[in-house]
Structure 1
Amino acid sequence: MFILELTYTAPVSAVDEQLAAHVAWLDEQYEAGVFLASGRKNPRDGGVIIAVARDRARIEEIAGADPFVLAGVCEYRITEFYATKTVPALASYREQLPA
């Protein structure tokens, strides 16, 4: 599982210009089953996405296609972790630690 932390690198006005394209991109990733949750940080200096994928390379590829990245208004910090414990609703995403 992955935590994607977005940090804006441009004024919020520039981010807002790309917002519709970013939301459409988010919708595509939700439909593909990659994103589980997302939202703005408070204060509004970026956002957070919880995602699943077969490997880090795939997540990096997806993040690189974000319209925010393509427009140069944000950077990503990607953290991979093992979701060994979850609420029942996320049980299908539980992982085992590697041997």
Structure 2
Amino acid sequence: MFILELTYTAPLERIDALLPAHVAWLEEHYANGTFLASGRKVPRDGGVILAVAESREAVEALAATDPFSRAGATAYRITEFLATTTGPDLAPHRQTLPS
């Protein structure tokens, strides 16, 4: 599982102009099961996405397709972790430690 932390590198006016395309991008990846949760950070200086993917490389490639990234309006910090404990709704994504 991956935490994608976005930090805006452009003024909020530029972010707001790109927001409809970013939301469409999010919706596409919710529909295919890659994204599990997302939202703005408080204060509003970026956002967070919880995602599942086959590899870090796949997540990095996906982040590069975000309209915010393509416009140079955000920087991504990607953290991979093993979700060994989850609530019931995330049980299908529960992972085990490597042996």
TM-score bin, normalised by smaller chain = over 0.9
Measure the CA separation in 1 of the matches of 2:70 and 2:90.
Answer: 31
TM-score, normalization by structure 2: 0.98
Residue 44 (structure 1) shift: 0.2
Q: Which residue number in structure 2 is paired with residue 70 of structure 1?
A: 70
Question: Aligned partners of 1:5 and 1:98: how far apart in 2?
Answer: 25
Stretch moving more, 37-46 or 86-95: 86-95
- The one-letter amino acid of 2:4's match is L
**Corresponding pairs, count:** 99
Q: Distance in 2 between matches of 1:15 and 1:98?
A: 40
Percent identity among equivalent residues?
63
User: Where in structure 1 do 4 or more consecutive aligned residues deviate above 2 Å?
Assistant: none
For 2:11, the equivalent position in structure 1 comes to 11
Q: Unmatched 5+ residue regions in structure 2?
A: none
Please report the TM-score for the alignment, with normalisation by the length of structure 1.
0.98
Q: 5+ unaligned residues in a row in structure 1: which ranges? A: none
Shift of 1:88: 1.1
Cα root mean square deviation, aligned = 0.5
Q: How far apart are the structure 2 equivalents of 1:29 and 1:59? A: 11
